[in-house]
């Protein structure tokens, strides 16, 4: 077997591996889509609950009243509402971790594809087109819910709550700039 035949055989083997990886990527893309669909529908409940509880907190804090038969009622209501807000923020953070984890899995699959793709000089149009689709699909999910915007929104919401008198005990240190992804999974 000559050197040219060895190169052709290695190239075919690598091409077969690339095609297999492409197939695995698009299979995992379908699973990724299902995860996103599931999480997208599940996130509505805690978001609605969070909205309701923040409205309740604002209303309770605005009202000036004192009932002698029920001392410290306002403080107890504020405590109960803030505990509920904390629980919803925790639930939302867990869901965000699910989005992040799913995106990272898809990115790992794409990186594996890229490594195989660059090992060979790919001239087959179908493989090149599939690689473009793989990149496009990853970019779609990567930019669909950018983490930075989500984090800024969560930080702004938390700061707004703290200005309204919310003093929760969330384990995320927003002032120190910790990232949610470091607390995930």
Q: What is the pLDDT of residues 63-84, one digit of tens each?
A: 887 777 888 888 999 999 999 9
Domain of residue 99, CATH code = 1.10.287
CA angle 12, 14, 19 (to 5 degrees): 90
Q: Which domain holds residue 121?
A: 13-63+70-164
Please list, in sequence order, all residues whose beta carbon lies within 8 angstroms of the beta carbon of residue 101, skipping any fewer than 6 positions away. Answer: 184, 185
Tell me whether residue 169 is in a domain.
no
Q: 180 in a domain, yes or no?
A: no
**Greater confidence, 97 or 142?**
97
Task: Kindly indicate the confidence band of residue 184, based on its pLDDT and cuts at 50, 70 and 90.
Answer: low
Comparing 139 with 37, the larger pLDDT belongs to: 37
Q: What is the pTM of this model?
A: 0.61
What's the pLDDT tens digit per position in 127-172?
A: 777 778 788 888 887 777 665 445 555 555 555 544 444 444 333 3
pLDDT score, position 139: 82
Query: Is 157 domain-assigned?
Result: yes
* pLDDT the model gives residue 83: 97
φ and ψ at 160, to 5 degrees?
Answer: -65, -40
Q: How far apart are CA 110 and CA 92, in angstroms?
A: 27
Report which of residues 80 and 40 the model is more confident about.
80
Query: Do the domain assignments include residue 177?
Result: no
Q: What is the DSSP letter of 171?
A: S
> Is residue 134 in a domain?
yes
Domain membership flag for residue 5: no
Angular region, 122: left φ>0, alpha ψ -120 to 50, beta rest: beta
Query: What is the percentage of the chain residues whose pLDDT exceeds 90?
Result: 25
pLDDT for the residue 50 = 95
In this prediction, residue 132 carries a pLDDT of 82
Report the alpha-carbon distance of residue 139 to residue 36 in Å, rounded. 14
pLDDT in the model for residue 42: 92
To which H or E segment does residue 153 belong? helix 147-163
Q: Classify 27 in phi/psi space as left (phi over 0), alpha (psi -120 to 50) or beta.
A: alpha
* 167-181 mean pLDDT: 38
Query: Is residue 172 a part of any domain in this protein?
Result: no
Q: Please, what is the average pLDDT of the chain?
A: 75
- The residue with tokens 């599931």 is 38
Concatenated DSSP letters of 42-56: HTHHHHHHHHHHHHH
Q: Is the residue at 155 inside a domain?
A: yes
Structural domains counted in the chain: 1
pLDDT at 176 over 70: no
């Amino acid at each position: 077997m000559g050197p040219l035949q060895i190169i052709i055989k290695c190239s075919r083997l690598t091409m077969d591996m690339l095609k297999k990886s492409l197939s695995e990527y698009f299979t995992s893309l379908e699973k990724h889509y299902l995860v996103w669909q599931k999480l997208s529908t599940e996130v509505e409940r805690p978001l609605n609950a969070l909205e309701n509880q923040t409205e309740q907190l604002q209303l309770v804090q605005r009202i000036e009243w004192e009932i002698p038969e029920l001392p410290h009622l306002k403080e107890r209501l504020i405590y109960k509402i803030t505990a509920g807000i904390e629980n919803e923020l925790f639930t939302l953070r867990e869901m965000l971790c699910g989005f992040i984890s799913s995106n990272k899995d898809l990115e790992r699959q794409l990186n594996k594809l890229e490594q195989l793709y660059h090992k060979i000089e790919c001239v087959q149009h179908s493989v090149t087109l599939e690689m473009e689709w793989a990149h496009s699909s990853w970019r779609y999910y990567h930019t669909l819910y950018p983490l930075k915007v989500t984090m800024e929104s969560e930080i702004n919401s938390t700061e707004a709550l703290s200005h309204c008198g919310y003093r929760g005990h969330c384990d995320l240190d927003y002032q120190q700039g910790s990232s949610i992804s470091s607390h995930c999974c």
